[in-house]
Structure 1
Amino acid sequence: MGKFPVHFPIPTWFASVSLFSTALLFGTAGAADAQVRSFAPLNRYVVGGAVAEIIDASPDGNTLVFTNSSDQQIGFIDITDPANPQSLGTVEVAGEPTSVAITPDGKYAIATVLFLIDEDAGQTIADQQPGTLVFIDLATRKVTGQVQLLGIGPDSADISPDGSKVIVAIEDEEDTDNLPGSRPGSINFVTINEDNPSESTVTAVDIDLAGIEGVNYVEDPQPEFVKFSPDGSTAAVTIQENNAIALIDVASEQIIRIFSAGTSSQFADRTEDGEISLTEEFKGRREPDAIAFTPDGQHLVTVNEGDTELESFGDNIGSGGRSWTIFDLEGNVVYDSGSSVEELAVTRGQYPDDRSEDRGIEMEGGTVAEFGEQPIAFVTSERGSFVVAYDISNVEKPELISFLPTGLAPEGVLAIPERNLLLTSNEDDGTIDFFQASTEPAESAYSPTAPQITSTGADLPFSAISGLYQVPNDPNAFYAVPDSAVSPSRIYRIEMEGSSATVVSALPLTKNGESVRYDLEGIALQPSGDFWVVSEGDDREGQEAPNLLSHVNSRGEVQQEIPLPEAASGAITRFGFEGVATNAEGTKVYVAIQREFEGDPENTVRIAEYDLENQTWNYYFYPLDTDNVEDSWVGLSEIARDTDGSFLIVERDNQGGENGAANARIKRIYRVSLANAEPGATLEKTLVLDLLSDYRWIEEKIESLAVTNQGYWFASDNDGGINYTRLLFVPRQ
């Protein structure tokens, strides 16, 4: 576990700022006056190819536990130095762990474990057995006991502040496609036997939804998330599919009240069309997932993911509020974020348009913690891959502190105020993010070599940057193109200033007066100022889009589309044109082709050359690296002409992202020369940069490279908003 920790390339001076901030926040002098003004990335830790879903920390904040559902394990990490975490190994739990928490005395890590059915043996959901609560000794990291729960399908769990009880949501999702189910979920309370955990007692609390206004499935509660109040007297439960919240008196284990979470109304993008526009009226059942109490115990914070089918009830009310909400304990809405978080996601390029017809950014995880005397709510977006932090000192008017990109699909979120830390566990790429609280403004977390990218507003969305080129005579301005995740096609202009990069305009592309929809993968300029862009083809049935080299004038009008010759186009796979460059004179255009032609030697791809005068195509062969992990592929994703006339090639594997950050091997920049090469020659390549080893580039898609006199700019394709656009400048050596 924990193959290697990955660090963000933050400025070296930030460490001293952060340490100073820690002293202000939690030192003996001036602590009460210190205010958290931001959280800044400290480290991204790779969890050895596994899944990191739910996390918790020991009372001293030095040991982290996480659920690894794919491997049926609980993982342990020493985070004494959060900038250099160390794996402490794993414990098998013989089932899928769904939640984990550590007792306040630090003695046990307690995990809820789902009984798995064996489909290969013919078992069905009807054969599923009750789950278990597994006790792991934190010191020895060995299972010391377990108890069977009173219900099938345990989900969330929480431990009371005094350490005497565990509350477990027994969701029992027997058939999510055919609600309501026949087995209603419930709540379990487990009274812990400290000396012999296997003798802990379990009681069940049934959830009766009869007479509760606004619930969806009266007979099928399906509780989702549980949380004790700060004083331990009350427990809150989200009943997600029923859009309801229950409050339970802990001493008597009796339900106090159940109320509907209601609906949220705002403007949203409800159409998956490649065009991001938060202009459509939207009303959605909140259907909250995570829930937390405010530090004073007087309010509840919910994260409104949604979980039913979008139009289950025929009333044009959607599923999920695309928001987070603060309720009082009577069920009255004190605050709802409305569309504000989605607006933030749009301006930062992290709105996933392909989720517009579903639940947008799909907010899911959340927690509340008090840093000093400052209450802060943290809310994650599963589909947008970010966490937002809000000061909720005034529950009616929360104030944004930070918008923080995370690894892919953050599920768990944990604040450790005593250590000045915020963590997220990111399910899809197997990473854990560490952020540090600071009294400095948010901008201090960025640098001129790793700037934050935003647009000027929600009316100028951007995403999926797949090509980058410097504006002539302006080292601080760049043209960029998005791939097919953005439609119609356009050319962005990005301007750099200090630690910020701003998308300031988008030039639409047209052909004969009509918008065009390309899968743009590269951009270059002719000496005349016109553009060359390449569109990647797709030979799959129903797509049949050709690979195209297109000449576009400065007004965005397509002047010419140049396909490959028929023989070549028939041999290329859907992984085609991936970058474009010209020679210095502008008489030849070069295109990087991502994968092998059919019939070409294995691990060899082509660089295509188009001669403008003769209107002919020629090809050079490029040898690929082969030290990638098994069952992955390696290909090209960019070509750019350097100042000496040679060409830089971006070569990468398809690992990282959903394939797991620990599987990333090849994110490299090579130099080739075409000056004396004859068509058909195999090129010799020289390594210029290894972005994985030198800059900890674990994101899957390094797809953009722009050359300047000072050095090289890189940008990642964020797959249409499912994660962040990383910008990195590397000076010439």
Structure 2
Amino acid sequence: MLRRLAAAAVAAGACFSLAAVPAFAAVTPITHSAPDAAISLSVAGTHETGVFGKSAAEIVGWYAKNQRLFVVNAAAGQVDVLDASKAGDPTKLFDIDTTGVKSEDGSVIPAGAVANSVAIRPDGLGVIAVEAPVKTDNGWVVFFDANANQAKPLGAVRVGALPDMITFTPDGKQILVANEAEPAEDYSVDPEGSISVIKAPPQIRAGKQNQVKTAGFGAFEGKLPVFDSRAGADATGVRIFGPEGTDAQNLEPEYITVDAKSKKAYVTLQENNAIAVVNLDQARVERIFPLGVQDLATVAMDVSDRDGKINIKNWPGVKSFLLPDAIASYEVGGKTYLVTANEGDARDWATFSEEARVKDLGKNGLKPVCETSPAYGHLKDPELGRLTITTTAGLNADGTCYEELYAFGGRSFSIFDTNGNRVFDSGSQFEEVTAAAIPEFFNSNHEENAFDNRSDNKGPEPEGIAVGQVDGRTYAFIGFERIGGVIAYDITDPKNAKFVTYINNRDFTQDPESAAAGDLGPEGVTFIPASESPTGKAMVAVGNEVSGTTTLFEVSAR
């Protein structure tokens, strides 16, 4: 029956198949491609930790020289080193434990610290972003030698609070860290968000503390174009909100990409729905631009997990903030373009949460939906009632009721120019593709096999993204955190990006806590060019935080 309900989505003309995989694979992946797809994705090999639901495989770094994958094992505070020279059988060599590493500032990384991100320079200098056991304390960057056959780190330097993502500039001369600086659950401490700009040592050795600079947001205090939360007002500003704090405390860096010349970094401020532009020569944030919203009057979404069907449709009176997580960049004709995975994180802390369901508006002190709102007649559970929205936006001019409703996440990916103009957005295509490919488990969560149980909150939830070239064309590869899988788009022409193919290495008939279920909760996505690949073909490496698996997908011409 559910497959019949998805018939309209399937009718778009794309083809559906179950891909054949080598004998070692435990799962027969689900694939779905456009009729004219130039490439396909297939599973090359998977490494399994056997650890479920503990973030045992998140961000993946690639080192071409010795064909190794470096996989963040967040909860263990370490990086697992995998030999991927045989792509069909990635095997663990050893792990790099950050506990006990001494930093240049005299501190020592204690037990309970969390590894969040890893990056490797082409010569083998590796770096790990490490969060303190108390997340509001300053974290560290740990240095290691990716060529070594043992786990001894080289040293560390101190950076800002909750270092969430780390990367090298393309020229290898600087290391950049996004210090997210989330508040404590009770807001007793709320550090300032920042970007650490570190001069990378020219050799493979630890960096120096005096080479760490901080690009903060103090200069923007009171000067940002702030999103006006009133219905019908300026919806183009930066989201500055919360119970207290300065703008610098409110801004939370998430993910970084760097232009090809290593001059500018572009940093997603996810909860703020904005991107910060960092001048790397000066280690200074020079600009912040907001990202706008999806208007559900024109962009269709399935917004209910209680309607018993796939129901991707328009909803006047409802908008959704993009709120991107990962960001990548590429050049076309000498111009840089930014590619974002519009995940949709909210602020949800013990003493402050912006989240509510539409049906709860008008209860427990929350303002009701205005009778004049286009959404007013659609507040039951099978329609808008279950949709998770923010209480911080959409009130009418006198603040008595919600004229507009604002949800979380674009359920899409976007392409922006560096002036903040959105030149492309995939709109409702992610939900349409997954509805056609896996109708029985459309918008399933990642820790259970269920139909439609994420439609009320961010849908497939695009999170990780990587960009790379295959046969002279540029592709974006985006991971879906909830339903799973990786989708590929041809973005060679930024204004006319096109869906190519989708693969999901998951078996929805198996217990999610068993190895037979396959990959659950894609987090980090890394592109490996053909020139560096163990198979001679381009590959995509994905770390799956729920299943604790790391999977290599081979990219082939069709």
Instruction: Judge same fold: TM > 0.5, yes or no.
Output: yes
Aligned equivalent of 1:660: none
1:253 partnered with 2:283: yes
Q: Distance in 1 between matches of 2:174 and 2:421?
A: 29
> 2:390 aligns to what?
311
Partner of 2:378: none
CA–CA separation in structure 2 for the residues paired with 1:144 and 1:92: 8
Query: Which of residues 87, 94, 98 is equivalent to 1:89?
Result: 94
Indicate yes or no: 2:482 matched with 1:383: yes
In the alignment, is the contact (CA less than 8 A) between 1:36 and 1:371 conserved in 2?
no
2:529 pairs, out of 395, 405, 417, with 417
Q: Please, what TM-score do these two structures have when normalized by structure 2?
A: 0.68
Change (3 A) 1:61 1:144: closer
Aligned residue runs from structure 1 range 144-223, under 5 A? 144-175=153-184, 182-195=190-203, 196-199=205-208, 201-207=211-217, 208=220, 210-213=223-226, 214-217=237-240, 218-219=247-248, 220-223=250-253
Residue of structure 2 in register with 1:301 after alignment: 339
CA distance 1:181–1:374, shift in 2 (3 Å): farther
SS of the residue corresponding to residue 98 of structure 1 reads strand
- 2:146 is aligned to 138
Answer whether contact 1:270 1:280 (CA < 8 A) is retained.
no
**DSSP 3-state at the match of 2:116:** strand
Shift of 1:425: 0.8
Sort the Cα spacing of 1:325 and 1:176 in 2 relative to 1 into closer, same or farther, 3 A.
farther
| Per-residue CA distance 1:458-516 (angstroms, 9 max, x = gap) | xxxxxxxxxxxxxxxxxxxxxxxxxxxxxxxxxxxxxxxxxxxxxxxxxxxxxxxxxxx
Report what 1:244 is aligned to: 274
Secondary structure (helix, strand or coil) at the match of 1:268 reads: coil
Gaps of 5+ in 2: 1-18, 26-36, 100-112, 227-236, 241-246, 347-354, 356-388, 395-404, 445-451, 506-518
Q: Deviations over 1:385-421 (max 9, x none)?
A: 1110111111111122210104100001011112221
State the shift of 1:239 in Å. 0.5
Give 1:133 deviation, angstroms: 0.3
Q: Using CA pairs below 8 Å that are at least 6 residues apart, which structure has the higher relative contact order?
A: 2
Q: Is the 8 A contact 1:291 1:300 kept in 2?
A: yes
Change (3 A) 1:176 1:394: farther
Specify the structure having the higher radius of gyration (Cα): 1
Q: How far did 1:362 drift?
A: 1.0
Residues of 2 paired with 1:176 and 1:332: CA distance? 35
Letter in 1 for 2:557: T
Structure 1 contact 149–188 (Cα < 8 Å) conserved: no
Report the 3-state secondary structure (helix = DSSP H, G, I; strand = E; otherwise coil) of the residue aligned with 1:110. strand
Match of 1:320 among 392, 409, 432: 409
d(CA) in 2 for partners of 1:181, 1:347: 46
Deviation at 1:9? 5.5
2:67 match: 62
1:324 and 1:186, CA in 2 relative to 1: closer, same or farther beyond 3 A? same
SS where residue 159 of structure 2 aligns? coil
Partner of 2:21: 10
2:195 and 2:225 map into 1 onto residues whose CA distance is: 18
Match of 2:443 in 1: 351
1:291 matches 2:299: no
Q: Alpha-carbon deviations, 1:650-697, whole Å to 9, x = none?
A: xxxxxxxxxxxxxxxxxxxxxxxxxxxxxxxxxxxxxxxxxxxxxxxx
Deviation (angstroms), 1:323: 0.8
Q: Note if contact 2:216-2:284 (Cα within 8 Å) is conserved in structure 1.
A: no
Q: Secondary structure at the match of 1:224?
A: strand
Equivalent residue, structure 2, for 1:547? none
1:399-414 aligned within 5 A: 399-406=498-505, 407-414=519-526
User: What residue is the counterpart of 2:259 in the other structure?
Assistant: 229
| CA distance in 2 between partners of 1:177 and 1:369 (Å) | 42
Q: TM-score, normalised by structure 1?
A: 0.52
User: What amino acid maps onto 1:260 in structure 2?
Assistant: P
| Deviation by residue 1:256-309 (Cα, 9 ceiling, x = unmatched) | 321101112311111121433112425211111100102445210011111123
> C-alpha deviations, 1:352-409, integer Å up to 9, x for none?
2212221111111101112242111111110111110111111111122210104100
Asked if structure 2 preserves the Cα contact closer than 8 Å seen for 1:130 and 1:148, the reply is no
**CA contact under 8 A between 2:76 and 2:115: conserved in structure 1?**
no
Identity of aligned residues (%): 30
Asked whether 1:428 is paired with 2:466, we answer no
Instruction: Give the counterpart letter for 1:96 in structure 2.
Output: V
Q: Does 1:361 pair with 2:450? A: no
- Residue 78 (structure 1) shift: 0.8
Matched, 1:47 2:49: yes
Query: 1:538-587: CA deviations, max 9, x gaps?
Result: xxxxxxxxxxxxxxxxxxxxxxxxxxxxxxxxxxxxxxxxxxxxxxxxxx
Structure 2 counterpart of 1:396, which letter?
K
**Equivalent AA in structure 2 for residue 271 of structure 1:** S
The Cα shift of 1:231 comes to 2.5
CA distance in 2, matches of 1:182, 1:37: 46
Find the aligned partners of 2:287 and 2:207 in 1 and give their Cα distance: 32
Aligned: 1:332 with 2:450: no
Report if the CA contact (8 A) 2:97-2:151 is conserved: no
| 1:219-618 correspondence to structure 2 within 5 Å | 219=248, 220-265=250-295, 266-273=299-306, 274-281=308-315, 282-296=318-332, 298-308=336-346, 309=355, 310-315=389-394, 316-349=405-438, 350-352=442-444, 353-406=452-505, 407-418=519-530, 419=533, 420-440=538-558
Is the CA contact (8 Å cut-off) linking 1:187 and 1:206 kept in structure 2?
yes
Deviations 1:298-337 (A, max 9, x none): 2100111111233131311111111110001110010001
Residue pair 2:473, 2:490 contacting (<8 A) in 1 also: yes
Equivalent-residue separation in structure 2 for 1:305 and 1:189 (angstroms): 26
1:43 Cα deviation after fit: 2.1
Q: For residue 269 of structure 1, what is the amino acid of its counterpart?
A: D
Runs of 5+ unmatched residues, structure 1:
1-7, 15-34, 118-124, 441-733
Q: Which amino acid aligns with 1:91?
A: I
Aligned equivalents of 1:333, 1:152: Cα separation in 2: 31
Q: 1:175 to 1:47 in 2, by over 3 A?
A: same
Task: Describe the shift of the 1:318–1:181 C-alpha distance in structure 2 as closer, same or farther (beyond 3 A).
Answer: farther
